[in-house]
Copies of this chain bind each other. A is one copy, B any other.
Amino acid sequence: MLELAVLGLLSDAPLHGYELRQRLKATLGAFRAFSYGSLYPTLRRMRANGWIVEQAGDFAVVAGAPALTGKRGKVVYQLTAEGKEHLADLLTEAGPTAWEDDTFGVHFAFFAKTSPEVRVRILEGRRSRLEERRELSKTSLSRTRSRLDRYTLQLQEHGLESVEREVRWLNELIETERARPTVTPPSTTPQTP
């Protein structure tokens, strides 16, 4: 999850933690927070897995006495070859993991790096996920409408409308996606025109 987001961001340019988090907020702001409390552990994990390496940044640790001065330089993270490979893998996976509430936004954010086929697959997966939820919501509503208090009812209806709205959005996206000439691209990492 966060892993995918980080890989995606670093694939454009090396970044340090703080900047990474700024981009995360800017890109996914409305959907996910991604605090430092998950960012740094994730970076460590990714480093351990060999997806990224850290280089000394701006006010670099002068060889000799970094621990003594306590000065801490910016830590800039950069993708490794394995990291790029892993990113490519994640972007190709079009399983259910790609269209759950918390995951979809991240995948979508990197659609420019995703193949058209996978894009459509994810969009459709997301849509049917939401349609399912919509039906559930509808029947539940019609079954209990009379018994519900004013506020619970309001909440249900708002929820239902939100879902319907997102389905409409997805429909448009899928249509647009289909309209685009899907000339199967040169197999690897397509870029946006």
Contact = CB atoms under 8 A, between A and B. Distances in A.
Interface in A9-35: 26-31
> Could you say how many copies of this chain the assembly holds?
2
Contacts of A27: 152, 155-156
The interface size bin for chain A is 20 to 34
Nearest to A162: B30
A39 interface: no
A29 B112 contact: no
Contact of A30 (B29, B137, B152): B137
Interface stretch (A56-64, A90-98, A143-151): A143-151
Contact of A149 (B156, B158, B192): B192
Nearest to A191: B149
Contact of A109 (B151, B162, B163): B151
A133 interface: yes
Interface in A122-159: 133, 136-137, 140, 144, 149-152, 154-156, 158-159
Interface centre among A30, A110, A163, A165 (most CB of B within 10 A): A30
Contacts of A105: 155
A169 interface: yes
